[in-house]
Amino acid sequence: MTNASAHSAPVLRVDGVSKQFGGNRVFNNVTLSLNAGEVLGVIGPNGAGKTTLINVVSGQIAPTSGRILYGGRDINDKLFHTRSSMGLVRTFQQTKTFKTASVYENLHRAQLFSGRGISLDESYLTELLRTASLLGRLDQLSDTLPYGMQKMLGLLMAFVTDPRILLLDEPAAGLEKEERFFIDQYVQIAMREMGCCVLLVEHDMDLVKRLCPRVCVLDGGSLIADGPPAEVLARRDVIEAYLGTAGEEEHAHA
């Protein structure tokens, strides 16, 4: 995976962002940048605020303070759907498809609602549909698909909106081990064919190590580390952050 344009202006900047729900301060004064051509991993123990960070960046919730900059422009006043139509597109930890619509219709609606999109017959989309075993199921209703395929369909619904930045929230969660390699292909095609950059929230450390030249660690309301995965994952404070949570078994084996 490339780490291109490391010296150019960031495509996305989370600038001193804090988020508080009532008395629960999830994170405080978090700053991070996503550069062109980059896949940035964001990891951290359960409850660290990773999904909340994606919610704030995608515009689903407002930050308590701080700014989100997209291509250098402050987009705090832009709503979720506006950000999506600008190419700032998220996926969800849980599957989010139109349950009673076919695979084809799901992709078509996603494309239509975004106001942008790639053609459903683009060859790289066909390649991804085939990899996910969805190409022969275009007429099948999404709620009749196995879970892994529904999850992949959710990813492809983001893909067909022609994103500039993909915010992926635990794309591997719930997938079988062999299905997880679909994510590698998805990210590689998004970068190679579409020039996307990717912010990847994920607990599967093998996947993070395969895809991310750089990872940030969120814990206790702050970013505690930022660097290459081999270095970051060997740090004592990062290991302690993981071992101190209830999800330790999955993380320790990841």
Q: At its nearest, how many Å lie between ligand ATP and the CB of residue 69?
A: 21
Q: Measured from the CB of residue 48, what is the shortest distance to ligand ATP in angstroms?
A: 4
Residues 11-30 interacting with ligand ATP (rule: CB under 6 A): 21, 24, 26
Residue 48 or 167: the one with the smaller Cβ distance to ligand ATP is 48
Integer Rg of the chain from CA? 18
Nearest-approach distance from CB 160 to ligand ATP, in angstroms: 25
Near ligand ATP in 87-116, by CB under 6 A: none
- Our CB check for ligand ATP shows the closer of 128 and 200 to be 200
Q: What count of residues does the chain have? A: 254
Amino acid identity, position 25: R
Beta strand segments in 77-180, E: 88-90, 165-169
Contacts for 253 with CB less than 8 Å, ≥ 6 apart: none
Closer by beta carbon to ligand ATP, 51 or else 188: 51
Q: Name the CA dihedral angle for 155, 145, 55, 27, rounded to a multiple of 10 degrees.
A: -100
Question: In this complex, which beta carbon is closest to ligand ATP, that of residue 131 or of residue 245?
Answer: 245
Q: Which of residues 37-76 bind ligand ATP (CB under 6 A)?
A: 44, 46-52
CB 33 within 8 A of CB 12: yes
CA–CA dist 85, 72 (Å, integer): 17
Chain positions contacting ligand ATP, by CB under 6 A: 21, 24, 26, 44, 46-52
